[in-house]
Amino acid sequence: MHGKFFLFTLLVSLSLTLCHAPKLLADDGNGEPCLELPIRFHLLSDITMEKAGVQMGMWVTAEDVTDHIVPEMNRIWEPAGIRWVVESVVSEESVDIPNKRTVIENIQESDRTTTTFVSEIESLFPLETRHPAILNVNLFPFLGETRQGFAFLGGGWESGIPNDGGNRAYVGVWTDKPSRGVDPPQQFPLTEALPFDIGSIARTCSHEVGHNLRLGHPDTSTQVVFNRLMGGIQHGYVLIEDEIDSSRAVAMNRLDAIARWDALFPSALLGDVNLDVSVNFLDVSPFVERLMTGTYQTEADIDGDEFVNFADIGPFIDLLSSVEP
Ligand SMILES: [Zn+2]
């Protein structure tokens, strides 16, 4: 394929209008507008890892994301006036990289001294479904000993280069951090009742998207406020004033980047639920999955009524039968 055309196709495949355009809500009650930031969640569905006799696969569902993880993230981020909105939940298969089994074993045997795990984990997630402008939170079975998540420090789409990394976070759904790696990994709870004990997938997601909003870890030598979302001495949920101000500034920058991206690529390809830039029978299974879980995705909202429901079935079948076999 011609290079430019390929790039265009890739960009089109990456583009996807948001289910609800990101917007500034009127007021959060404190005079500051509430910022709504969309997230695309990725569930890597086909990898099974093993540690200490425990088989670890992807057990988190799209419903877990929309009904448990994101509401808890919104509780945690509420003091900052930032609200997370699910753009879509994409259940996807891993990329067929060379030496895939070895790479997966390297990740499952890695510990906190390993540095190669970042590129190894990234290489397993398909590029085609990664959104270039909004945040992508990637859920993976197990990230290595005592590691629950990692993320790239982000900003807006400042460099003008899509996929500069700052909009990607990775979170494990199994963890051995509570026992400091002594016990076999366990399913990391979706959420955790207060106060903080071992944390949860929702808290780790909240921490990692904090990095995407350019927050770092507290300096433990000067730390005076404890129980912080961003870690340090005694983990918890507190966001300090400085963190709120700076994360909101970066969130505004991110919204600006998303608006620029939407202006460049305004429309989704209706019916292309698996985002492979064509509408065909491969879209049927993800369409049914969105339908059954009630997960919103622009491509599956064929009748454009802002819901993915049974009313979309007829128009979806019409679309499928109108495309070339
Ligand atoms: Zn961190």
Tokens, residue 217: 């870890």
Highest mean pLDDT among 54-63, 131-140, 150-159: 54-63
List pLDDT tens digits, range 93-111.
Answer: 999 999 999 999 999 999 8
CA of 150 to the centre of ligand 1 (A): 6
CA of 279 to the centre of ligand 1 (A): 39
CA of 95 to the centre of ligand 1 (A): 26
Task: Give span(s): CATH 3.40.390.10, the chain.
Answer: 17-261
CA of 78 to the centre of ligand 1 (A): 19
User: Rg of the chain's alpha carbons, rounded to an integer?
Assistant: 20
CA of 25 to the centre of ligand 1 (A): 29
CA of 93 to the centre of ligand 1 (A): 26
Confidence band of 157 (pLDDT split at 50, 70, 90): low
Task: Judge whether residue 324 has pLDDT over 70.
Answer: no
Please calculate the CA angle 104-64-255 and round it to the nearest 5 degrees.
85
Task: Please give the helix or strand (H or E) that residue 40 lies within, else none.
Answer: strand 35-44
CA of 117 to the centre of ligand 1 (A): 15
CA of 202 to the centre of ligand 1 (A): 14
The whole-number pLDDT of residue 317 equals: 92
CA of 140 to the centre of ligand 1 (A): 17
CA of 215 to the centre of ligand 1 (A): 9
CA of 168 to the centre of ligand 1 (A): 13
Task: Judge whether residue 166 has pLDDT over 80.
Answer: yes
Q: Yes or no: say if 18 and 87 are a contact pair by the CB < 8 Å rule.
A: yes
User: 266 versus 170: which is more confidently predicted?
Assistant: 170
CA of 71 to the centre of ligand 1 (A): 21
The whole-number pLDDT of residue 177 equals: 92
The whole-number pLDDT of residue 26 equals: 47
Task: Judge whether residue 124 has pLDDT over 90.
Answer: yes
Both ends of the chain: CA-CA distance in Å? Answer: 21
List pLDDT tens digits, range 217-259.
Answer: 999 999 999 999 999 999 999 999 999 999 999 999 889 888 8
CA of 237 to the centre of ligand 1 (A): 13
The whole-number pLDDT of residue 10 equals: 32
SS3 122: helix
CATH classification code of 17-261: 3.40.390.10
The whole-number pLDDT of residue 138 equals: 98
List pLDDT tens digits, range 264-294.
Answer: 776 678 899 988 878 899 999 999 999 998 8
Confidence band of 24 (pLDDT split at 50, 70, 90): very low
CA of 272 to the centre of ligand 1 (A): 35
How far apart, in whole angstroms, are the C-alpha atoms of residue 240 and residue 219?
13
CA of 208 to the centre of ligand 1 (A): 6
The whole-number pLDDT of residue 267 equals: 64
The whole-number pLDDT of residue 30 equals: 59
Tokens, residue 51: 């540690």
Q: Yes or no: say if 100 and 4 are a contact pair by the CB < 8 Å rule.
A: no
| Mean per-residue pLDDT of the chain | 86
The whole-number pLDDT of residue 325 equals: 57
List pLDDT tens digits, range 291-311.
Answer: 998 888 889 999 888 889 999
The whole-number pLDDT of residue 114 equals: 86
CA of 233 to the centre of ligand 1 (A): 13
Task: Judge whether residue 314 has pLDDT over 90.
Answer: yes
Closest CA to 90 of 136, 50, 47, 33: 136
Main-chain phi, psi angles of 197, to 5 degrees: -125, -75
CA 157 → CA 134, 163, 267, distances in Å? 9, 9, 20
